[in-house]
Every structure is written in C-alpha cells, then in structure tokens.
Amino acid sequence: MTHRAPFDFFTRSAFGIEPGSHIGTQLEGLASRIDLSKGQTAPLDNRSDRIVFVASGATKLVAQASEQRQQIVAFHFDGDIVSVPADGLFANSVTALRHSELLVFPAREFFDSAAGEARIARSLLERLPIALQRCRDRAVALGQGSATERLAGFLLAMSERIGRADADHCELDLPMSRKEIGESLGLTIETVSRQFGVLRELGLIKTQGRSRVTIFDRDMLSRKAGHLHQTQKTSGNPTN
C-alpha cells in the first residue's frame, strides 16, 4: 500500500466519495496516518475526542479504570470507524491485534466537515446507531448472560464480522487471545477456556490451535447465547 492508499480506501469505502473531491481533501487535511504493529497502542491525545478509521488490520478499544482493571469495549476490523472519546470515567486506548493501518481525525473538526456533506453525514448517521446497538447487545450480554451465553454470543458476533461461512459450518480465525476475549466479556481466562470446553463438548464448535474455531451449529449456538429467535419474536405491532 502506498502512503496515500489508506486515505483513498477510507473515502471510497466509508463514504463512497471519490478522492480529490473538495470534501475529500478537506478530510484528508485533518487525518493523521498511523501504522501499528501487533500489540502497539495508538498514541492518541486523550484530551479530546477522536474518530479513528481502521484502514486495515484489527484493533481493540480498551477502557482502563485502574492499572489492573481494564475492559475491552469493542473490536474493530478493516473499514470500521471507531469513535474514541476523551478520557471520561475511564481512559480509552486503541491497540492493534495485528499489524494495522489507522487514520485518526479530531472528532469535532471531522464532524464539522462531515455535517456539511449530506452523503458523509448520512453514512455516519447510518453507522453510529449500529455501533450503539452493538454496544447495547454487549451490555445486555454482560448484564444478564452466563459465561457460556457470553462466549456463544461473542463467537456468533465474530463469525458475522470475520467468519468464512462454508455451507453449513463457519470457520473463524480469532485475532485475539483468550485473555482478550475474557477482557471483552468480563470473564477470566480460565472461565473462557472452560466455556470453550463446554461448547466443544456440546458439539457446537471445534477448536484447532489457538485461534481457529469452527462453528457447526449456528442456530443452536444462537440459542445457547440466549438470543431472540423467530418463534419468540414479538408479533408485529401495527401502530407507527
């Protein structure tokens, strides 16, 4: 990738605008390009909000309360846009799970520019509620779900984002360690490992090596995750 390839990918893939357009150059002026190798943390100024575009790679967004206690708030992959707030209740940071290329924007200026361009604004208004919904689903899982349910839900979510569906079963190469899965689900390494064992013995998944997971029965896994199913969906409420 040349030095400006990430930005072109950004404008095109994220917003469907051609590089070189007025708004494109405007946004490019705001961007800082960052290259992270595995395990590196992006040097973000935590005094104001940032918008980070993951051009390639895989990253984790980490919230840190104390030195010892940290939680992974979200994982992000190629083409994802991440909203990274200034430190609030917790300190936030973006760390690469593998080599990643990022574009970093100051949030305020980015939104100022984006708001004036209908196409970009529309795209952001499309993406942000999705991120919000992902976060809510996670919050529900963290609040209500058992360890097994959390891991089942995690595997399903990951398979939808980075899985390779192959007929009935689905292959998955997890770019994160058990420790990181645990930090994302609010569980310990050991519990995560035990739950992998549970799902394995139920015949729902197979694991090969540290990162390869094969999902045999998506539907049953979804049931184990405590997710809503067709039969139990609230029947259409006509008003509105």
Interacting residues toward DNA by CB under 7 A? 146-148, 177-179, 186-194, 196-197, 207, 209-211
Q: Does 240 bind its own copies (CB under 8 A)?
A: yes
Instruction: State the residue for tokens 């960052």.
Output: 34
Give 121 or 173: the residue with its C-beta nearer to its own copies.
121
Give 40 or 188: the residue with its C-beta nearer to DNA.
188
Give 184 or 196: the residue with its C-beta nearer to its own copies.
184
CB of 71 to DNA, least distance (A): 11
Cα 73–78–82 angle (5° rounding)? 40
Give 74 or 185: the residue with its C-beta nearer to DNA.
185
Q: Does 143 bind its own copies (CB under 8 A)?
A: yes
Q: For the chain, where are the alpha helices, taking DSSP H only?
A: 5-9, 15, 22-30, 107-115, 118-144, 147-162, 178-185, 189-201, 218-224
Tokens of 204: 């729902």
Q: How many CB atoms lie within 10 A of CB 13?
A: 12
Residues in 215-234 at the binding interface with its own copies, rule: CB under 8 A: 225-228, 232-234
Q: Does 185 bind its own copies (CB under 8 A)?
A: yes
CA atoms of 31 and 25, how far apart (whole Å): 10
86 with 96: CB under 8 angstroms? no
CA atoms of 15 and 128, how far apart (whole Å): 13
The size of the chain, in residues, is 240
* Binding at 190: pick from DNA, its own copies, none (beta carbon under 5-8 Å per type): DNA
Give 40 or 191: the residue with its C-beta nearer to DNA.
191
Build a one-symbol-per-residue string for 61-90: x at contacts with its own copies by CB under 8 A, - elsewhere: --xxxxx-x-x-xx--------x-x-xxxx
125 with 54: CB under 8 angstroms? no
* Binding at 179: pick from its own copies, DNA, none (beta carbon under 5-8 Å per type): DNA
| Nearest by Cα to 176 from 96, 109, 230, 106 | 96
* Binding at 207: pick from its own copies, DNA, none (beta carbon under 5-8 Å per type): DNA
CA atoms of 152 and 25, how far apart (whole Å): 43
Q: Which residues bind its own copies (CB under 8 A)?
A: 32, 34, 43-47, 49-50, 63-67, 69, 71, 73-74, 83, 85, 87-91, 104, 107, 111-112, 114-116, 118-119, 121-122, 124-126, 128-129, 131-133, 135-140, 142-144, 153, 184-186, 225-228, 232-234, 236-240
